[in-house]
Amino acid sequence: MNRLDRLTSILIQLQSKRLTTAREISERFEVTNRTIYRDIQTLRLAGVPIGEEEGKGYFLVEGYRLPPVMFTTEEARALVTTCKILNYHTEDSLKQNYESALLKIKAVLSFKEKEKLEFLNSRIGFHKPWAPTSLYLDSIQHSITESEKLKIKYQSREEEQINERIIQPYAVYFSGAVWTTIAFCELRQEIREFRLDRIKELKLRQAHFKPDKTFSIERYLEERSKRLFLNP
């Protein structure tokens, strides 16, 4: 990748999240941190308002936006293929939101590229395996980002009775078959897991909770795997 392409890609990466570290950028482009420092300075000299929080990373000043992004053929093919893969997920909101975003992406492509993608789309198939359905992924993701409590009616594997719980969702993960939310259960006063396909009803409580900033989904899943290995 030449330097001009890298500078453009750095801008896109900065716009994709609130804070981005030099290490994240350097690892993506396989260059040194010093090279990234020079690239950031070049962008600043060109008038791009890049701020910095010491020890945390770089950010684009609020209100600055890049012009419409052009996609390469390879990126567009990857997006179309991903859309097909999402047919394995029975979570309707995830498929619908991705398909909506994909339409916006296709809008910036040339007619020739659109025709190629439509042809490719017609030649990618999927065999949908059985998987339990769930409806609430989007609502739980909203709850995570907004720190909003949820009231759910839940049927656990051990009990036939449906119980009401107030939960504070921390994260979600996909196991290859079902989506599960990791949440603080106010009834049990501890972190529990709730499979989305066993949630029979869900309502936003319009009450907020203080998110646990120390929680790490990677650490949680690693510790979970260790527990399952030691206690199969």
**Do residues 219 and 175 touch, judged by C-beta distance below 8 A?**
no
Q: Looking at the structure, tell me whether residues 101 and 150 fall in a common domain.
A: no
Q: Domain total for the chain? A: 3
Is the domain of 141 the same as that of 204? Answer: yes
For residues 7 and 32, state if they share a domain.
yes
Q: Which of 12-16, 41-45, 143-147, 152-156 has the lowest mean pLDDT?
A: 12-16
Same domain assignment for residues 16 and 49: yes
Is this model's pTM higher than 0.85 or not?
Answer: no
Residues 192 and 156 in one domain: yes
State whether 81 and 143 are in the same domain: no
**Whether 151 and 108 share a structural domain:** no
Asked, for residue 12, whether it belongs to a domain, the answer is yes
Residues 35 and 109 in one domain: no
Q: What is the pLDDT of residue 103?
A: 75
Task: Looking at the structure, tell me whether residues 142 and 198 fall in a common domain.
Answer: yes
Query: Per residue in 201-223, pLDDT tens?
Result: 999 988 999 999 899 999 999 99
**Segment among 66-70, 139-143, 211-215 with least mean pLDDT:** 66-70
Same domain, 150 and 225: yes
Q: Are residues 207 and 167 in the same domain?
A: yes
Nearest to 173 by CA among 163, 181, 161: 181
In this prediction, residue 146 carries a pLDDT of: 93
Q: Which residue has the higher pLDDT, 222 or 101?
A: 222
Residue 67 lies in a domain: no
Q: What is the mean pLDDT of residues 172-192?
A: 90
In this predicted structure, the answer to whether residue 107 has a pLDDT above a threshold of 90 is no
Which tokens in the block code for residue 12?
């896109």
| pLDDT band with cut points at 50, 70 and 90 for residue 13 | confident
Q: Summarize the confidence of residues 49-74 as an average pLDDT.
A: 80
Mean pLDDT taken over the chain: 84
Which SS3 state, helix, strand or coil, does residue 52 take?
Answer: strand
Average pLDDT over every residue of 23-42: 93
Whether residue 130 lies inside any domain: the answer is no
The confidence score (pLDDT) of residue 135 equals 77
Side-chain-side CA neighbours of 87 within 13 Å: the count stands at: 12
Asked whether residue 127 is domain-assigned, the answer is no
Q: What is the CATH number of the domain that holds 49?
A: 1.10.10.10
Classify residue 129: in a domain, yes or no.
Answer: no
Tokens 């609430």 belong to which residue? 136
Q: Is residue 184 part of a domain?
A: yes
Residue 153 covered by a domain: yes
The domain in which residue 10 lies consists of 3-60
Range with the largest mean pLDDT of 61-75, 127-141, 178-192: 178-192
Q: H helices of 20-132, where?
A: 22-29, 33-45, 73-85, 92-106, 111-122
Same domain for 80 and 36: no
Q: Is residue 42 part of a domain?
A: yes
Bridge pairing between strands 199-208 and 148-154: antiparallel
User: How far apart, in whole angstroms, are the C-alpha atoms of residue 55 and residue 135?
Assistant: 40
**Cα separations in angstroms, 68 against 4, 17, 80, 130:** 17, 17, 19, 39
